Amino acid sequence: MANKMKIGILGAGTWGIALARMLCNAGHDVTVWSAIEAEVDSLSSTRRHPNLPGVELPDQLRYTKDISDACTGMDILVFATPSVYIRSTAEKAAPYIADGQIIVDVAKGIEAETLYTMTEIIADEIQNPTVRLVALSGPTHAEEVVKDLPTAIISASDDVAAAETVQKVFTTGRMRAYTNDDIHGVELCGALKNVIALASGIATGLGCGDNAKAALITRGIAEICRLGIAMGCKEQTFVGLAGIGDLIVTATSMHSRNNRCGMLIGQGVPVEDAIRQVGMVVEGLNALPAAMRLAGKYNVEMPIVETVDAVVSGRVDVSTAIEMLMVRELKSEIRGTAFHNMYD
């Protein structure tokens, strides 16, 4: 276990609060910042989060409306806002980031305009080469972590010492952290598995059954792996917790916003209405434009991603989406000895 540390968490959504509770209960000094002042007031007064029913938060957990309070003097700073707010949050935090600061990103996404991962966005805004960036990712639903259910996670960084520090801090009696030096591969998995989870949800909404879901998960990780290898990532990452592990939980669980949103779309609910019914950010929809651009940039075939994009954009009726995938040119699954050559 790590020594007691001061930890700032930027973002008070379900994942940020689940981690804040876990770290506070592990004995760390935790401060949570939110850009929504009413959210800070509510958390401070009720000690409960509206999207985590039945969970009482520790009295020791601190909340602040002042981002400098959450950034200054922290051993670890965690970015836990939705992916679309990472850049604006980093911009606000930048003046208060110390040299050598360990920054942990737990958001999952890729910026459509720049094709930057979340840690790359943070680096771009903070402009301090001494900052030590770590991506924390894996099969980790907030709804289970907040109930202290057993969970495993990946601490990824090309700064091995920083990854190991974060590994120790985030390892508790109920969470086990592993390290990985392939930070770009881990972040790619975290973003694109949400798109595949949308596909899985759409198939469920259409009534396709477990066979189709298993096929989409398997073929989905093959697509993600193909792209990752083309981008220079390590193939082992895609068969680990950040890859197939996170994809399995996101594509099968009702805790998954992406899976639930996909199910609604598959049932014929318009995309915007499906988002409203889910009631929280659906990261797969945010990642979809970047996924399409990356597939084109690296000349990688990603038929599941392309089909989801066609459905979401309204170019293809949802009822024909599965048929589009099923009637593609017949191919062999095994194409070589390496994982990324086995799928085409």
Tell me the chain's radius of gyration from C-alpha atoms: 20
Residues with active-site annotation: 193
| pLDDT at 221 exceeding the cut of 60 | yes
**Residue whose pair of structure tokens reads 């949103």 in the numeric block:** 261
pLDDT class of 335 with cuts at 50, 70, 90: low
Give 343's pLDDT tier (boundaries 50, 70, 90).
very low
Domains in the chain, please, with CATH?
A: 6-181 (3.40.50.720), 184-341 (1.10.1040.10)
Question: Which region among 60-69, 194-203, 250-259, 331-340 has the lowest average model confidence (pLDDT)?
Answer: 331-340
| Ramachandran area for residue 61 (φ above 0: left; ψ -120 to 50: alpha; else beta) | beta
Residue 277's CB: how many other CB atoms inside 10 A?
A: 11
Evaluate if pTM is beyond 0.75.
Answer: yes
Q: What span, in angstroms and rounded, lies between the C-alpha atoms of 324 and 118?
A: 32
On the question of pLDDT at 67 being above 80, the answer is: yes
Q: Three-state DSSP class for 305?
A: helix
- The pLDDT assigned to 319 comes to 86
Rounded Cα distance between 324 and 221, Å, is 19
Using DSSP, state whether 196 is helix, strand or coil. helix
Q: What is the pLDDT of residue 332?
A: 84
- How high is the pLDDT of residue 1? 55
Q: How much is the pLDDT for 337? A: 41
Quick one: which of 199, 211, 319 has its CA closest to 256? 199
| Tens digit of each residue's pLDDT (9 = 90 or more) over 39-49 | 999 999 999 99
